[in-house]
Amino acid sequence: MIALIDYGAGNLTSVGKALAHLDAPATTPTSPTDLASADGLIVPGVGNFEVTAALGADWRAAIDTHIAKGRPVLGICVGMQWLFDGSTEAPGHPGLALMPGTCSLITDQEAATSDQSRGASDRVGGRLKVPHVGWNTLRVTKPSWLLDGIDAGAQVYFTHSFAAPVTDDCVGATRYGMEFAAAVERDLVAGVQFHPEKSSDVGLRILRNFLQKAS
């Protein structure tokens, strides 16, 4: 059974439909104790990082226990950002700190570099539309169970304004004004900034990979 964590802002319906398409039973736990019977956890998400504050210390402890049992976790969009130390979008709300790093607003670093070379230091990100919405290229950066079978240059669907840094945990990157981590993985903890439930066959393959780990 896959547990879909609900903190009041996640896109549970679309993720649930994708899992149903893959014949994977899912449930939405109402208390942290319900996680004990879950084979895998998915933390979907949309909106401001602050919404993750709804998952307090009891939920965090239950998630830690789930991971300690050798069961996988997948964060989607804000759910992936929550795996990190935190986000500049909501500095007072820490993440799970399962991966080091802080998420930050997408900026047009290429434009900034170009403008600074011309002495125009007052212009950063002027050519970039944020949020980043639509299809973009996923570049696989290292072998990964999460991205197993995903072809080079695969297209996936994004909608976000903040992004995670490219660290050693990054297994797939995307460029939009700057390069950011589009997929991360550390042991059985994984996350994707894009929405696999909206990314056609590529997204379904990623969800299958997660389900295989949970089986």
**Full-model pTM:** 0.91
The arrangement of secondary structure in 2-214, i.e. its CATH architecture, is: 3-Layer(aba) Sandwich (3.40)
Nearest alpha carbon to residue 105 among 170, 155, 162 = 162
Confirm whether 66 is a catalytic residue: no
- Whether the Cβ atoms of residue 201 and residue 215 lie closer than 8 Å to each other: no
Q: Could you say which of 89, 132, 185, 197 is catalytic?
A: 197
16 pLDDT more than 80: yes
106-121 mean pLDDT? 60
- Whether the Cβ atoms of residue 79 and residue 191 lie closer than 8 Å to each other: yes
Q: Could you say which of 50, 66, 77, 110 is catalytic?
A: 77
153 pLDDT more than 70: yes
DSSP 125-180: STT--SSEEEEEEEEE-S--STTTTPPTTEEEEEEESEEB---TTEEEEEESSSEE
Q: Band of the pLDDT at 8, cuts 50, 70, 90?
A: confident
Confirm whether 93 is a catalytic residue: no
Strand order in the sheet with 102-105: 86-87, 102-105, 162-163
Question: Cα 32 to chain center, whole Å?
Answer: 21
pLDDT in tens, 36-95: 999 999 999 888 999 888 899 999 999 999 999 999 999 999 999 999 999 999 999 999
Confirm whether 195 is a catalytic residue: yes
